[in-house]
Every structure is written in structure tokens, then in C-alpha cells.
Chains A and B, each alone.
Chain A
Amino acid sequence: GIQVEQSPPDLILQEGANSTLRCNFSDSVNNLQWFHQNPWGQLINLFYIPSGTKQNGRLSATTVATERYSLLYISSSQTTDSGVYFCAVAPYNNDMRFGAGTRLTVKP
């Protein structure tokens, strides 16, 4: 099955810093989403981005499908950005598969 690798596994930042999270995948996909898991376990949908670039406030994401990777940018990080960020991909006509996540800690 498809392999999804996220890096770095852990990231510690000072409030106000910028960060880039990466997601590599091993096969062609027709779906890619970024999620933030809050402390209560819910997966919050950040971006549906099988290709191209999107921005939402301090967050933006870029997927280069032909090179099989996606990047999530967080600018001016806040303590509330802490948590685990997951990338999930789906090959054509198949279900979503998740990476292991990046645990982000933003210190005040």
C-alpha cells in the first residue's frame, strides 16, 4: 500500500516563529488533506489540497502531486497551534491513509 512519511516527527518552536511541515507519499494520489488533532482527539480539517496552493490566515499549504510531496506552513505560531499535525492521502478510488504525524509544541 501507499507509504506516507511526515517530517519532522517533533518540532519545538518559540511563539512567533515560522515552521514548515512536510509530507512525502509513495504513489499517485487524488486526495490529500492536512489535519490538526486537538488535545481532545478530534481531527480538525485544515486543508483539502490534492494539488496547488491554498492559504487560510496564518496557515498555508502546497502540494506538488507530480513530485509526491506536500508542505504545510505555519507563520507567526501561537501556543494554540500546538498539537499533532497529520497528512492523509488517498490513491485513486481508495481510502484515506495517514502519516505518523508531526507533534508541534509552541512555547510562550
Chain B
Amino acid sequence: KAGVTQTPRYLIKTRGQQVTLSCSPISGHRSVSWYQQTPGQGLQFLFEYFSETQRNKGNFPGRFSGRQFSNSRSEMNVSTLELGDSALYLCASSLNGRGQGSYTFGSGTRLTVV
């Protein structure tokens, strides 16, 4: 079966702009979790979506938001970009989320803010 697809792979944006990243989970998986990876902070949990509802959110400002569609595809949006938002953004697909079962990650979107 197809894996987890994240688009785009690379993105360069200017400070103050906004950006939208996409994640298509494995077919049949209903949970999508998002993570931010930076050299200084490591892998940090952003939020988790299940059946179009955000169930859990990490400690990030309101500029970070997301949504999930009826086909389980998820998008995350970052508004008013700051230099510190430069990071690798990873999404994970799982059947039911909330730490249950195996998580499978996409290849990530590498965002550079200049």
C-alpha cells in the first residue's frame, strides 16, 4: 500500500508570509499527527487530527494551525512566518492515533524562512 505523502518536499518563504503543508496518510488510517524538527529543539509534537477533529495540541503559538478533510488528508498552516519557523515538518499516519499502534512517517517538508 502507498506510504505517507507529504508535499511539497522543500519550500522557501519570506518572513511574514504564510505557508500550507499537506499530508496524505496511508489508506484506511484516520489519524494524522504533525511534528516540527529543529536542531535546537529536536522533534516536537504540533497537533493530532482524527476524523476531521483536532484532538491534541502541543505547545506552539496560534500561528500554527491545521485541519483534516473527510478523506483523512491533513494540512497544516503557519501564518506570519518567523525565521525560527525554519524546520523539517513531519507528519505521521496511524490507524487511530492517541499513541495506539504503529506510526508511519512521511518524508517531510523542509521549510526555510528567509
Contacts and interface: CB of A to CB of B under 8 A. Distances in A.
A54 B26 CA distance: 24
Nearest to B100: A31
Given A33-B103, A93-B98, A94-B99, A42 B45 contact: no
A42 B108 contact: yes
Interface string A62-90: 00000000000000000000000010101
Instruction: Classify chain B: how many residues form its interface, as a range.
Output: 20 to 34
B88 interface: yes
Contacts, number: 60
B110 interface: yes
Interface in B62-114: 88, 90, 92, 97-108, 110
Given A94-B56, A95-B48, A100 B107 contact: no
A25 to B, nearest CB: 12
B81 to A, nearest CB: 20
Interface string B45-65: 100100000001000000000
16 contacts: A30-B99, A31-B99, A31-B101, A33-B102, A33-B103, A35-B105, A42-B105, A42-B108, A45-B102, A90-B98, A90-B99, A95-B98, A96-B33, A96-B92, A96-B99, A98-B43
Closest 4 CB pairs of A and B: A90-B99, A98-B43, A43-B105, A48-B102
